Structure formats: structure tokens, C-alpha cells
Amino acid sequence: MTGGRPERADAARNRRAILLATEDLLTRHRPDQISMEQVAAAAGVGKGTVFHRFGNRMGLMVAVMQERAFALNEAVRNGPPPLGPGAPPRERLLAFIDAVMDVIGRNKGLLAALGQAVTSTSPQEDAGEDDHPVYGLWHGHVSGLIAEIRPDLDSEVLAHLMLAGLHSRPILRLLERGETERLAGSLRAVATALLDSPPAS
């Protein structure tokens, strides 16, 4: 939607082509190695179209993040279980962990892209976790599931602890080495240990 009107079919095609081209480039290059000109050439559109639609590289990278985040959010809200509604909360939490790691693993530059975008803003701007275009969606879902399973725990803080490292440099290096399943298994182990921990006395 733009200005309250439906997006033109050609504009929608261009937007999708640009986002797909960016995702493809991010599988092979770091964000700072990708230019708007490269994206335009890969998408088969003019450079001006990319700049007009996304403003700059930061805007483009954030849009890629949002695209993936909203697709995952839609699967969580309306998809089949165990990721979607209908499964026990423990199964949904573990399925969500796998889904998040799959998204990150298939787009190894995705979180690095957002980090690049954030660090390119003015140092006076406060770009915290709450400004992350997907963090709020992920945190809210994880926190809600933990609260449903273990209402005795501080689900808000625990969800932050579980998700905080996903865009850290060590995790990104592991993703770049293709160790997605190792990371997913470790995060599942953390979640399981958390849920099975004895209640605080």
C-alpha cells in the first residue's frame, strides 16, 4: 500500500524483484559489499527505481528484514501447527526456534544487513533492540509462549536473553560457516532446560 491506495502491479513486481535480488546478493556478499547499482542490475530495474523505492542501502536492508519477518509472523499467526496455532506451546516454541534459524540460515547476511544499516545511522540516534524491525515480533511470540508454559518465570526478560545473541558477531560468524543446525540445536537445548527448570522456591 502507498498513500492509502493499492500498489500498482508493475510497482509491486519491481519491489519484489528488488527484494529477491538483494536477498540473493546477501547469500554471497557482505552488506557493505553490495551497492544499489548491483541490486538494480540483478533485479533488472533502473538504479533510480531502487533509490526511489527504498531511499538508500539502509532502507533496502531493513525492507529485506521486514519482508522475512512478516512472512514468519504470518506463519505463526495463520500457518499450520506446530509453528502456527493448534499445537502445545512447548512444541510451538521449539518449532519457532527452528523457523527463525532457518530464515537466518537461508539468508546469512540478513542480520548482518540490519547491523550494517543501524551502524550507518547518526551516532546520536538511539538504535536499540526495540528498533530492530523483527525483534518485537520475535520477542513477543517467545515471551508469550514461555509465559503460557511457565507463568512462574519472568518471560519478558528470558525471551530477551534467548534472542539477544542472534545478531551478535560470534553468531554471525557461525552462520557464515554454515553451522545453522548447530545453533538451532543449542537454542533448543537452552529453551528445553529453561522450561524444565524447577520452580523458584
In order of their start, the domains of the chain are: 1-55 (1.10.10.60), 56-196 (1.10.357)
Judged on CB neighbours under 10 Å (0-12, 13-18, 19+), 62 is buried
For the stretch 116-153, pLDDT in tens is 444 443 333 444 444 455 678 889 999 999 999 999 99
For the stretch 54-82, pLDDT in tens is 999 888 988 887 787 788 889 999 999 99
Q: Answer yes or no: pTM beyond 0.75.
A: no
Torsional class of 88: left (φ above 0), alpha (ψ -120 to 50), beta (otherwise): beta
Burial 36-57 (b: 16+ CB within 10 A, else e): bebbbebbebeeebbeebbeeb
Angle at CA of residue 17, ends 31 and 67, nearest 5°: 65
Contact 84, 78 (CB under 8 A): yes
